[in-house]
Chains A and B, each alone.
Chain A
Amino acid sequence: MASVQDAEVLVGPLGALAPADSEIAGPPGRQALRMFLRNRAAVFGVILFVAVLLMTIFGPMFYDNDASDIVARPVLAPGADGAPPLGTDYLGRDVLAGVISGGRVSLLVAAMAALMVVFIGVTIGATAGYYGGWVDTVLMRFTEFFQVLPALLFAMVIVALFTPSIATISVAIGLVAWPSIARLTRAEFLRLKNLEYVKAARAIGAGDWSIMSRVIFPNALPPLIVSASLLMGAALLFEAGLAFLGLSDPNTLSWGLMIGLNRANFLSAWWSVTFPGLAIFVTVLSFSLIGDGLQDAFNPKLRGR
Chain B
Amino acid sequence: MTSHLAGVDAVLSVRNLTVTFGSFTAVDSISFDLHPGRTLAVVGESGSGKSVTALSIMRLVELGSRGRITGGEILFRSPDGSVIDLVRTEEEEMRHIRGNQISMIFQEPLTSLNPVYTVGNQVAEAVMLHQGLDADAARKRAVEMFELVRIPNPNERLDQYPHEMSGGMRQRVMIAMALSCDPTVLIADEPTTALDVTIQAQILGLMRDLQDETGASVIMITHDMGVVAEVADEVVVMNRSKVVETGTVYEIFENPAQEYTRSLLAAVPRLGSMSGTAAPARFDLVGVSDDSGSAGQGLS
Which A residues form the contact surface with B (CB < 8 A)? 24-29, 132, 193-197, 199-207, 210, 215, 218-219
Contacting pair B115 A219 (CB below 8 A):
yes
CA distance A132 to B63 in the complex (A): 11
Other CB < 8 Å A-B pairs besides A204-B177, A218-B117, 7 of them?
Answer: A27-B116, A197-B111, A197-B113, A200-B112, A202-B98, A204-B99, A205-B99
Q: Which residues of B contact A203 (CB under 8 A)?
A: 58, 60, 98-99, 103-104, 106, 178
Contacting pair B125 A204 (CB below 8 A):
yes
Contacting pair A200 B174 (CB below 8 A):
yes
A25 to chain B, nearest CB (A): 7
Contacting pair A205 B64 (CB below 8 A):
no
CA distance A63 to B96 in the complex (A): 62
Residue of B nearest to A197 (CB): B114
Given A203-B98, A205-B98, A205-B100, CB of A27 within 8 Å of CB of B126: no
Residue of A nearest to B118 (CB): A27
B61 to chain A, nearest CB (A): 11
**Which are the 5 A-B pairs with shortest beta-carbon distances?**
A204-B99, A205-B99, A205-B98, A196-B112, A196-B111
Contacting pair A28 B161 (CB below 8 A):
yes
Given A202-B60, A204-B177, CB of A28 within 8 Å of CB of B98: no
Q: Which residues of A contact B95 (CB under 8 A)?
A: 205-207
| B97 contacts the other chain (CB 8 A) | yes
Contacting pair A204 B103 (CB below 8 A):
yes
Total residue contacts A-B, CB cutoff 8 A: 77
Q: For the side of the interface on B, what is the size category?
A: 20 to 34
A–B complex contacts, Cβ < 8 Å, 7 sampled: A24-B163, A28-B161, A196-B108, A203-B104, A205-B100, A206-B129, A218-B117
Q: Which residues of B contact A29 (CB under 8 A)?
A: 116
Q: Which residues of B contact A206 (CB under 8 A)?
A: 95, 99, 125, 129
Q: Which residues of A contact B177 (CB under 8 A)?
A: 200, 204
Contacting pair B164 A28 (CB below 8 A):
no
B64 to chain A, nearest CB (A): 5
Most B C-beta atoms less than 10 A away, residue of A196, A197, A204, A219: A204
Q: Which residues of B contact A24 (CB under 8 A)?
A: 163
Given A197-B111, A202-B63, A204-B129, CB of A28 within 8 Å of CB of B116: yes
Contacting pair B129 A205 (CB below 8 A):
yes
| B130 contacts the other chain (CB 8 A) | yes
Contacting pair B161 A27 (CB below 8 A):
yes
CA distance A194 to B111 in the complex (A): 11
Q: Which residues of A contact B60 (CB under 8 A)?
A: 199, 202-203
Pick the residue among A132, A200, A210, A219 that contacts B106 (CB under 8 A): A200
Residue of B nearest to A190 (CB): B64
* Interface residues in B207-240 (C-beta closer than 8 Å to A): none
CA distance A193 to B117 in the complex (A): 17
B260 to chain A, nearest CB (A): 30
B120 to chain A, nearest CB (A): 13
B175 to chain A, nearest CB (A): 12
CA distance A196 to B105 in the complex (A): 10
Q: Which residues of B contact A196 (CB under 8 A)?
A: 106-108, 111-112
B245 to chain A, nearest CB (A): 28
Residue of B nearest to A203 (CB): B104
Residue of B nearest to A218 (CB): B116
Contacting pair A195 B111 (CB below 8 A):
yes
Q: Which residues of B contact A205 (CB under 8 A)?
A: 95-100, 126, 129-130
CA distance A197 to B115 in the complex (A): 9
Contacting pair A194 B125 (CB below 8 A):
no
B176 to chain A, nearest CB (A): 11
Residue of A nearest to B160 (CB): A25
Contacting pair B112 A219 (CB below 8 A):
no
A220 to chain B, nearest CB (A): 10
B216 to chain A, nearest CB (A): 15
CA distance A197 to B109 in the complex (A): 9
Q: Which residues of B contact A26 (CB under 8 A)?
A: 161
